[in-house]
Homo-oligomer: A and B are copies of this chain.
């Protein structure tokens, strides 16, 4: 486990240096050691620049120094481009000089194996020892657009060409970071800070997110992440970003098996399960993009100063009925509420354009061409009477004409002065000038209408996450009498006893050592009952016929007892059998599965899914890092497609989701408390009874960690 976040030095010297030394500076501006110097000189960086090269008196017109210690003034940042074998010595020099931050561009470290691994370990040790923050090695460097600081050799930075803005980006991969930089330039997105972390010998993605979270110039954090190395730092970073109201948009590859294998072989590190990341991102209000287009669409949407939508109600205003219907389709995919206009308001809209579509989408038709003021009047009625939280307006190619676009924007602003809490997203093919005019007014503009709708959905998501974060959702307290986890294999009744002590109710059941005891217990519980073999050595009872259900009376029970003992003797002769479990027949309810697994990165992780074939055949499950509160558990339940079964299908009553959420939260607290002692917990099924009647664990397995015994 790495040192806690507080003890790590700030990244400020990296992004706010007064002076920069370039180690291995070259006179050839196409070389890795020449390019950053060339970029820094030509971009207009306002600090001092010191080429470090023992073999030259001057590099690219600047006086060169043999080592950084020879530099007369202070140096805050060193960019290191010497060959791998010389990097550590260069960094020692820097530390001696009091340099606070270094970026190591050189490759030939852990990624190549062999001696490189040792060299990289040396850099890590130096960083820890001296407190100097080191980026890389094997990275593409960093950029501060405001400072015109191009501390990178990526060709994508050539000629600067960057617009200052509120997006900051961190990429573990240099190639990915460079490609993104090109895209950012092509799209004209406003950028603040940019950094690639490469081998992450010291500074990792989590550090950068933390830095961005504390940076006033950053509103949106874009992160490309391959594998987290430190749960606590990443969680702390995401929590800080959320607390500071920054929007975090991530690209985390490895969703599929092929993708995960590619990512693993690429990073040579054991990533946690992808589904755990998915859960973590939802837990901390992060948007996970599935494509690079989406990554920057969402980043762009969050970088413009649009109000956070108050709810999911989406108004659609269009000049094309067809595009209106298309936007409604995509809005439904995004679970936005395309609520219809009130009847009265529909009549008012019909007065404006008799043949319009007034319902929602509101179709102004081509009449807009004849009367541009229809836009303002339609829009006003939609906000006034439709009460939409966010409106997406499709205007075809109007944005290509500045004159028309200005008129539309003025109408829009006149209405928004009365409804300052409503967000608006435009979709139109548009000239760059029109785009900038709209963005300056806090109105998003997308060429393509479905991308506009998806951006609106992202705004809604972040707004919901902010509201959720504002409400306390502490994990519940662990019950006072909660039993510790076992140190060796236990049977299901013992497992359920432990879980019950932790707050997860089980079906009433007893263990009976012999046939007569079984009959007594059954009579006490009341028929009909279920009989199951009780043995810590038989984990999957049903596979050997070790469960007999629906026993209606004592005769059936006694016969079943003999059958079970016979089967255990036949199929599992080595198993130590404690007798049988006599349980009351379960009521009707919805079968769910709750699990706990130990993730190599994130520790205790709780899994939830519907019972039956849903988990096995569809992988329809949700994960969360433990511990969490009841509201988080509720969100988790909501993510599972099979959730419809809990709402009551085929005439069944709605299930007790409150009790289910409480059980999930309780399980997470228990799992987090005993992370080191528990290998896994499997409650399968947990029966969710009708609303108000709770849950019952019908079967449970707790596997202790092998080292724990």
Q: Which residues of chain A from 504 to 541 have a CB within 8 Å of any chain B CB?
A: none
Q: Which of A49-57, A261-269, A279-287 contacts B (4 or more CB under 8 A)?
A: A261-269
Q: In the complex the two chains form, is B616's CB within 8 Å of A322's CB?
A: no
Shortest Cβ gap from A629 to chain B (Å): 28
**Complex contacts, A183 vs chain B, CB 8 Å:** 429, 447
Which of B171, B316, B320, B333 lies in contact with A173, CB distance below 8 A?
B320
Q: Which residues of chain A from 243 to 295 have a CB within 8 Å of any chain B CB?
A: 251, 253-263, 265-267, 290-293
A471 at the interface (CB under 8 A from B): no
Q: Count residues of A near B (Cβ-Cβ below 8 Å).
A: 80
Given that A256-B328, A329-B253, A333-B256 are contacting pairs, would A359 and B397 also be in contact in the complex, using a CB cutoff of 8 Å?
A: no
Q: In the complex the two chains form, is B644's CB within 8 Å of A174's CB?
A: no
Shortest Cβ gap from A336 to chain B (Å): 9
Shortest Cβ gap from A142 to chain B (Å): 17
Given that A326-B251, A326-B253 are contacting pairs, would A321 and B290 also be in contact in the complex, using a CB cutoff of 8 Å?
A: no
**Complex contacts, A172 vs chain B, CB 8 Å:** 322
Q: Which of A63-71, A448-456, A564-572 contacts B (4 or more CB under 8 A)?
A: A448-456
Which of B261, B324, B400, B449 lies in contact with A262, CB distance below 8 A?
B324
A58 at the interface (CB under 8 A from B): no
**Complex contacts, A448 vs chain B, CB 8 Å:** 291-293
**Complex contacts, A263 vs chain B, CB 8 Å:** 321-322, 325
**Complex contacts, A112 vs chain B, CB 8 Å:** 354-355
**Complex contacts, A338 vs chain B, CB 8 Å:** 258
Shortest Cβ gap from A335 to chain B (Å): 11
Which of B259, B354, B616 lies in contact with A326, CB distance below 8 A?
B259
Q: In the complex the two chains form, is B366's CB within 8 Å of A174's CB?
A: yes
A182 at the interface (CB under 8 A from B): yes
Shortest Cβ gap from A261 to chain B (Å): 7
Shortest Cβ-Cβ A-B pairs, 7 listed = A266-B321, A175-B320, A256-B332, A259-B329, A253-B325, A258-B338, A173-B322
Residues on A close to B: CB < 8 A?
111-112, 155-156, 171-176, 178-179, 182-183, 186, 224, 226, 251, 253-263, 265-267, 290-293, 316, 319-326, 328-333, 338, 354-355, 357, 359-361, 363, 365-366, 396-397, 400, 429, 447-451, 613, 616-618, 641-642, 644-645, 649-650
Task: Provide a sorted-by-A list of 15 A–B residue pairs whose CB atoms are within 8 angstroms.
Answer: A172-B322, A175-B321, A175-B365, A183-B429, A251-B326, A253-B322, A255-B332, A256-B331, A256-B333, A259-B328, A262-B325, A263-B325, A291-B450, A293-B450, A293-B451
